[in-house]
Structure 1
Amino acid sequence: MRRLLLCRHAKSSWSDVTLADIDRPLNKRGRRDAPLMGARLAMLGVKPDAIVSSPARRTRKTARYLAGALGFPRKMVLVIDEMYEASPASLLSIIRGFDNQVEQVVMIAHNSEITVLANQLGGLGIDNIPTCGVVALDFAVRSWRDIMKRQGIQAFFEYPRKVRNK
Protein backbone atom coordinates (compact mmCIF):
# COMPACT_ATOMS: atom_id res chain seq x y z
CA MET A 1 0.00 0.00 0.00
CA ARG A 2 1.28 3.46 -0.92
CA ARG A 3 -0.20 6.75 0.21
CA LEU A 4 0.42 9.93 -1.74
CA LEU A 5 -0.60 13.26 -0.25
CA LEU A 6 -0.81 15.94 -2.91
CA CYS A 7 -0.59 19.42 -1.40
CA ARG A 8 -0.94 22.77 -3.08
CA HIS A 9 1.40 25.32 -1.49
CA ALA A 10 -0.06 27.80 1.00
CA LYS A 11 -1.22 31.26 -0.11
CA SER A 12 1.62 33.32 -1.53
CA SER A 13 2.27 37.03 -1.63
CA TRP A 14 2.09 39.15 -4.74
CA SER A 15 3.03 42.38 -2.90
CA ASP A 16 6.53 42.68 -4.39
CA VAL A 17 6.13 42.65 -8.16
CA THR A 18 9.92 42.78 -8.64
CA LEU A 19 10.32 39.23 -7.30
CA ALA A 20 10.65 36.36 -9.71
CA ASP A 21 7.78 33.87 -9.43
CA ILE A 22 10.04 31.25 -7.85
CA ASP A 23 10.99 33.72 -5.08
CA ARG A 24 7.50 34.71 -3.93
CA PRO A 25 7.01 34.14 -0.17
CA LEU A 26 3.92 33.10 1.74
CA ASN A 27 1.58 35.89 2.76
CA LYS A 28 -0.04 36.26 6.19
CA ARG A 29 -2.85 33.83 5.35
CA GLY A 30 -0.35 31.29 4.02
CA ARG A 31 1.72 31.52 7.21
CA ARG A 32 -1.47 30.92 9.20
CA ASP A 33 -2.89 28.11 7.05
CA ALA A 34 0.23 25.96 6.65
CA PRO A 35 0.62 25.19 10.39
CA LEU A 36 -3.16 24.67 10.64
CA MET A 37 -3.04 22.07 7.87
CA GLY A 38 0.02 20.44 9.39
CA ALA A 39 -1.86 20.05 12.67
CA ARG A 40 -4.87 18.63 10.81
CA LEU A 41 -2.71 16.09 8.99
CA ALA A 42 -1.11 15.08 12.29
CA MET A 43 -4.59 14.63 13.80
CA LEU A 44 -5.46 12.38 10.85
CA GLY A 45 -2.44 10.22 11.68
CA VAL A 46 -0.25 11.22 8.75
CA LYS A 47 3.31 10.01 9.28
CA PRO A 48 5.24 10.67 6.08
CA ASP A 49 8.34 8.74 5.14
CA ALA A 50 9.24 11.55 2.76
CA ILE A 51 8.23 15.12 1.99
CA VAL A 52 9.11 16.47 -1.44
CA SER A 53 8.78 20.05 -2.62
CA SER A 54 9.18 22.23 -5.65
CA PRO A 55 12.14 24.63 -5.27
CA ALA A 56 9.83 27.68 -5.18
CA ARG A 57 10.14 29.62 -1.94
CA ARG A 58 6.42 29.29 -1.17
CA THR A 59 6.43 25.50 -1.57
CA ARG A 60 9.60 25.08 0.50
CA LYS A 61 8.12 27.18 3.31
CA THR A 62 4.84 25.22 3.17
CA ALA A 63 6.89 22.02 3.38
CA ARG A 64 8.76 23.30 6.44
CA TYR A 65 5.52 24.14 8.25
CA LEU A 66 4.02 20.74 7.45
CA ALA A 67 7.20 18.91 8.43
CA GLY A 68 7.30 20.70 11.78
CA ALA A 69 3.71 19.80 12.59
CA LEU A 70 4.20 16.19 11.51
CA GLY A 71 7.41 15.62 13.46
CA PHE A 72 9.33 15.15 10.22
CA PRO A 73 12.91 16.50 10.21
CA ARG A 74 12.84 19.74 8.22
CA LYS A 75 16.35 19.07 6.95
CA MET A 76 15.04 15.88 5.33
CA VAL A 77 12.54 17.69 3.07
CA LEU A 78 13.68 16.88 -0.46
CA VAL A 79 13.58 19.77 -2.93
CA ILE A 80 13.19 18.51 -6.49
CA ASP A 81 14.04 21.19 -9.03
CA GLU A 82 12.05 19.46 -11.77
CA MET A 83 8.83 19.97 -9.80
CA TYR A 84 8.81 23.71 -10.52
CA GLU A 85 6.53 24.37 -13.50
CA ALA A 86 6.21 20.59 -14.00
CA SER A 87 3.33 19.15 -15.96
CA PRO A 88 1.08 16.55 -14.32
CA ALA A 89 2.84 13.92 -16.47
CA SER A 90 6.24 15.08 -15.18
CA LEU A 91 5.01 14.96 -11.58
CA LEU A 92 3.76 11.42 -12.17
CA SER A 93 7.20 10.45 -13.49
CA ILE A 94 8.76 11.82 -10.31
CA ILE A 95 6.27 9.84 -8.20
CA ARG A 96 7.03 6.65 -10.10
CA GLY A 97 10.69 7.17 -9.23
CA PHE A 98 10.18 7.20 -5.45
CA ASP A 99 12.15 4.64 -3.46
CA ASN A 100 9.97 1.63 -2.63
CA GLN A 101 11.07 1.70 1.00
CA VAL A 102 9.00 4.87 1.24
CA GLU A 103 5.30 4.15 1.76
CA GLN A 104 3.82 7.58 2.50
CA VAL A 105 4.88 10.75 0.67
CA VAL A 106 3.72 14.36 0.94
CA MET A 107 4.28 16.19 -2.37
CA ILE A 108 3.98 20.00 -2.28
CA ALA A 109 3.58 21.60 -5.68
CA HIS A 110 1.65 24.16 -7.70
CA ASN A 111 -1.78 24.60 -9.23
CA SER A 112 -3.26 23.82 -11.70
CA GLU A 113 -0.95 20.84 -12.07
CA ILE A 114 -1.60 19.45 -8.57
CA THR A 115 -5.39 19.52 -9.09
CA VAL A 116 -5.11 17.90 -12.52
CA LEU A 117 -2.81 15.20 -11.13
CA ALA A 118 -5.13 14.43 -8.18
CA ASN A 119 -8.07 14.13 -10.57
CA GLN A 120 -6.13 11.90 -12.96
CA LEU A 121 -4.74 9.57 -10.29
CA GLY A 122 -7.93 9.31 -8.27
CA GLY A 123 -10.52 9.58 -11.03
CA LEU A 124 -11.83 12.57 -9.09
CA GLY A 125 -13.77 15.66 -10.13
CA ILE A 126 -12.17 18.33 -7.94
CA ASP A 127 -12.55 21.75 -9.59
CA ASN A 128 -9.69 23.33 -7.67
CA ILE A 129 -7.53 22.33 -4.73
CA PRO A 130 -7.47 25.48 -2.58
CA THR A 131 -4.16 26.88 -1.38
CA CYS A 132 -2.70 24.54 1.24
CA GLY A 133 -5.32 21.92 0.38
CA VAL A 134 -4.32 18.26 0.58
CA VAL A 135 -5.72 15.28 -1.30
CA ALA A 136 -4.63 11.90 0.09
CA LEU A 137 -4.74 8.98 -2.32
CA ASP A 138 -4.13 5.33 -1.45
CA PHE A 139 -2.72 2.91 -4.01
CA ALA A 140 -2.83 -0.87 -3.66
CA VAL A 141 0.55 -1.35 -5.32
CA ARG A 142 3.92 -2.66 -4.15
CA SER A 143 5.97 -0.24 -6.18
CA TRP A 144 5.60 3.46 -6.91
CA ARG A 145 6.43 2.72 -10.55
CA ASP A 146 3.17 0.75 -10.79
CA ILE A 147 0.94 3.73 -10.03
CA MET A 148 -1.52 4.35 -12.83
CA LYS A 149 -4.21 6.93 -13.56
CA ARG A 150 -7.62 6.38 -11.91
CA GLN A 151 -6.07 3.82 -9.56
CA GLY A 152 -5.94 5.92 -6.39
CA ILE A 153 -8.62 5.75 -3.73
CA GLN A 154 -9.28 9.08 -2.02
CA ALA A 155 -8.57 8.79 1.70
CA PHE A 156 -9.40 12.44 2.38
CA PHE A 157 -9.49 15.94 0.93
CA GLU A 158 -8.75 18.66 3.47
CA TYR A 159 -8.23 22.39 3.04
CA PRO A 160 -7.95 25.36 5.44
CA ARG A 161 -11.52 26.70 5.20
CA LYS A 162 -12.95 23.22 5.82
CA VAL A 163 -10.63 22.69 8.79
CA ARG A 164 -11.46 26.10 10.32
CA ASN A 165 -15.20 25.37 10.01
CA LYS A 166 -15.02 22.07 11.92
Structure 2
Amino acid sequence: MKKLVLIRHAKSDWTNPLLNDFDRPLNKRGLKDAPFMAKLLNKKCLNPDLIISSPSIRTKLTLEYFIKEFKYKESIVFEESIYEAPFENLLRVLSNTDDKYKTIFLIGHNPGLNDLSNFVLNDFKENIPTCGILEIDFDIEFWKDISKENSKLICFEFPKKYI
Protein backbone atom coordinates (compact mmCIF):
# COMPACT_ATOMS: atom_id res chain seq x y z
CA MET A 1 0.00 0.00 0.00
CA LYS A 2 1.24 3.47 -0.96
CA LYS A 3 -0.19 6.85 0.02
CA LEU A 4 0.13 10.04 -2.01
CA VAL A 5 -0.83 13.41 -0.57
CA LEU A 6 -1.14 16.11 -3.21
CA ILE A 7 -0.81 19.65 -1.86
CA ARG A 8 -1.31 22.69 -4.01
CA HIS A 9 0.73 25.71 -2.92
CA ALA A 10 -1.06 28.40 -0.90
CA LYS A 11 -2.39 31.59 -2.51
CA SER A 12 0.40 33.64 -4.08
CA ASP A 13 0.96 37.37 -4.20
CA TRP A 14 0.42 39.10 -7.55
CA THR A 15 0.97 42.69 -6.36
CA ASN A 16 4.31 43.04 -8.17
CA PRO A 17 3.57 42.53 -11.89
CA LEU A 18 7.29 42.66 -12.72
CA LEU A 19 8.13 39.71 -10.48
CA ASN A 20 8.94 36.49 -12.28
CA ASP A 21 6.21 33.85 -11.73
CA PHE A 22 8.72 31.46 -10.14
CA ASP A 23 9.61 34.08 -7.50
CA ARG A 24 6.11 35.01 -6.34
CA PRO A 25 5.69 34.77 -2.53
CA LEU A 26 2.49 34.00 -0.62
CA ASN A 27 -0.13 36.67 -0.09
CA LYS A 28 -1.96 37.43 3.16
CA ARG A 29 -4.53 34.67 2.61
CA GLY A 30 -1.83 32.19 1.69
CA LEU A 31 0.07 32.98 4.89
CA LYS A 32 -3.13 32.22 6.83
CA ASP A 33 -4.24 29.12 4.88
CA ALA A 34 -0.93 27.24 4.79
CA PRO A 35 -0.51 26.81 8.57
CA PHE A 36 -4.22 26.02 8.94
CA MET A 37 -4.07 23.25 6.32
CA ALA A 38 -0.81 21.88 7.74
CA LYS A 39 -2.49 21.55 11.15
CA LEU A 40 -5.57 19.95 9.57
CA LEU A 41 -3.45 17.38 7.75
CA ASN A 42 -1.36 16.66 10.83
CA LYS A 43 -4.56 15.83 12.79
CA LYS A 44 -5.05 12.94 10.35
CA CYS A 45 -1.81 11.45 11.73
CA LEU A 46 -0.20 11.20 8.31
CA ASN A 47 3.57 11.30 8.43
CA PRO A 48 5.41 11.59 5.14
CA ASP A 49 8.39 9.38 4.42
CA LEU A 50 9.36 11.75 1.62
CA ILE A 51 8.36 15.24 0.48
CA ILE A 52 8.72 16.21 -3.17
CA SER A 53 8.20 19.87 -3.96
CA SER A 54 8.39 22.30 -6.81
CA PRO A 55 11.30 24.67 -6.15
CA SER A 56 9.22 27.84 -6.71
CA ILE A 57 9.13 30.38 -3.89
CA ARG A 58 5.40 29.93 -3.22
CA THR A 59 5.72 26.15 -2.89
CA LYS A 60 8.78 26.45 -0.64
CA LEU A 61 6.96 28.94 1.59
CA THR A 62 3.92 26.66 1.74
CA LEU A 63 6.18 23.71 2.50
CA GLU A 64 7.76 25.51 5.46
CA TYR A 65 4.45 25.36 7.35
CA PHE A 66 4.08 21.63 6.74
CA ILE A 67 7.68 20.96 7.80
CA LYS A 68 7.16 22.91 10.99
CA GLU A 69 3.78 21.32 11.81
CA PHE A 70 4.99 17.77 11.17
CA LYS A 71 8.43 18.38 12.71
CA TYR A 72 9.65 16.77 9.51
CA LYS A 73 13.38 16.07 9.34
CA GLU A 74 13.57 13.54 6.51
CA SER A 75 14.35 13.99 2.83
CA ILE A 76 12.94 16.84 0.76
CA VAL A 77 13.39 16.68 -2.98
CA PHE A 78 13.04 19.97 -4.85
CA GLU A 79 12.16 18.77 -8.33
CA GLU A 80 12.39 21.36 -11.11
CA SER A 81 10.51 19.17 -13.57
CA ILE A 82 7.26 19.60 -11.61
CA TYR A 83 7.23 23.42 -11.67
CA GLU A 84 3.98 24.18 -13.51
CA ALA A 85 4.42 20.85 -15.29
CA PRO A 86 1.97 18.59 -17.08
CA PHE A 87 0.79 15.58 -15.08
CA GLU A 88 3.03 13.27 -17.10
CA ASN A 89 6.05 14.91 -15.44
CA LEU A 90 4.50 14.39 -12.00
CA LEU A 91 3.75 10.77 -12.85
CA ARG A 92 7.32 10.25 -14.07
CA VAL A 93 8.75 11.69 -10.83
CA LEU A 94 6.52 9.42 -8.74
CA SER A 95 7.26 6.36 -10.89
CA ASN A 96 10.98 6.90 -10.39
CA THR A 97 10.69 7.27 -6.62
CA ASP A 98 12.31 4.64 -4.44
CA ASP A 99 9.70 2.10 -3.37
CA LYS A 100 10.93 2.17 0.22
CA TYR A 101 8.82 5.34 0.64
CA LYS A 102 5.24 4.51 1.64
CA THR A 103 3.78 8.02 2.10
CA ILE A 104 4.75 10.88 -0.17
CA PHE A 105 3.69 14.52 0.05
CA LEU A 106 3.86 16.16 -3.38
CA ILE A 107 3.64 19.96 -3.29
CA GLY A 108 3.05 21.62 -6.62
CA HIS A 109 0.88 23.61 -8.99
CA ASN A 110 -2.20 23.46 -11.11
CA PRO A 111 -3.08 22.40 -13.72
CA GLY A 112 -0.61 19.54 -13.16
CA LEU A 113 -2.02 18.43 -9.78
CA ASN A 114 -5.58 18.58 -11.12
CA ASP A 115 -4.67 16.61 -14.21
CA LEU A 116 -2.80 14.01 -12.15
CA SER A 117 -5.78 13.56 -9.84
CA ASN A 118 -8.09 13.23 -12.84
CA PHE A 119 -5.73 10.64 -14.32
CA VAL A 120 -5.50 8.43 -11.20
CA LEU A 121 -9.03 8.84 -9.80
CA ASN A 122 -12.06 7.65 -11.71
CA ASP A 123 -14.63 10.15 -10.54
CA PHE A 124 -12.62 13.14 -9.35
CA LYS A 125 -13.44 16.18 -11.47
CA GLU A 126 -12.99 18.93 -8.87
CA ASN A 127 -10.62 21.86 -9.13
CA ILE A 128 -7.93 21.74 -6.45
CA PRO A 129 -7.92 25.28 -5.02
CA THR A 130 -4.85 26.92 -3.54
CA CYS A 131 -3.68 25.02 -0.46
CA GLY A 132 -6.05 22.18 -1.37
CA ILE A 133 -5.06 18.67 -0.26
CA LEU A 134 -5.92 15.29 -1.75
CA GLU A 135 -5.10 12.08 0.07
CA ILE A 136 -4.97 9.10 -2.28
CA ASP A 137 -4.28 5.46 -1.38
CA PHE A 138 -2.85 3.05 -3.93
CA ASP A 139 -3.10 -0.70 -3.54
CA ILE A 140 0.38 -1.22 -4.99
CA GLU A 141 3.87 -2.21 -3.96
CA PHE A 142 5.73 -0.13 -6.56
CA TRP A 143 5.22 3.55 -7.34
CA LYS A 144 5.52 2.84 -11.06
CA ASP A 145 2.21 0.93 -10.87
CA ILE A 146 0.03 3.95 -10.06
CA SER A 147 -3.25 3.79 -12.02
CA LYS A 148 -7.01 4.32 -11.84
CA GLU A 149 -7.44 0.63 -11.17
CA ASN A 150 -5.58 0.71 -7.85
CA SER A 151 -6.39 4.17 -6.46
CA LYS A 152 -8.85 5.36 -3.85
CA LEU A 153 -9.58 8.94 -2.82
CA ILE A 154 -9.45 9.15 0.97
CA CYS A 155 -10.13 12.85 1.42
CA PHE A 156 -10.22 16.19 -0.33
CA GLU A 157 -9.63 19.20 1.91
CA PHE A 158 -9.32 22.90 1.12
CA PRO A 159 -9.38 26.11 3.17
CA LYS A 160 -12.78 27.48 2.06
CA LYS A 161 -14.42 24.26 3.24
CA TYR A 162 -13.79 25.52 6.79
CA ILE A 163 -14.75 29.19 6.45
Taking structure 1 as the reference length, the TM-score comes to 0.93
Amino acid at match of 2:158: Y
5+ residue gaps, structure 2, are: none
Q: Is the 8 A contact 1:63 1:77 kept in 2?
A: no
SS at 2:30 equivalent:
helix
SS at 2:51 equivalent:
strand
Amino acid at match of 2:62: T
Correspondence for 2:129: 130
5+ residue gaps, structure 1, are: none
What's the offset of the Cα at 1:50?
0.9
Q: Is the 8 A contact 2:140 2:150 kept in 1?
A: no
Alignment RMSD, CA only? 1.3
Correspondence for 1:45: 45
Correspondence for 1:112: 111
Correspondence for 2:87: 88
Size of the aligned set, in residue pairs, is 163
Residue 20 of structure 1 pairs with residue 20 of structure 2? yes
Counterpart Cα distance in 2 of 1:77 and 1:28: 26
What's the offset of the Cα at 1:150?
4.8
Counterpart Cα distance in 2 of 1:146 and 1:46: 22
Q: Is the 8 A contact 1:11 1:30 kept in 2?
A: yes
Correspondence for 1:148: 147
Amino acid at match of 2:127: N
What's the offset of the Cα at 1:28?
0.7
SS at 1:100 equivalent:
coil
Poorly superposed stretches of 4+, deviation over 4 Å: none
SS at 1:64 equivalent:
helix
SS at 1:69 equivalent:
helix
Deviations 1:82-139 (A, max 9, x none): 1112110111010111111110001011111111111211123333101000011000
Q: Is the 8 A contact 2:12 2:30 kept in 1?
A: yes
SS at 2:115 equivalent:
helix
Q: Is the 8 A contact 2:11 2:130 kept in 1?
A: yes
Q: Is the 8 A contact 1:51 1:67 kept in 2?
A: no
Q: Tell me the percent identity.
A: 37
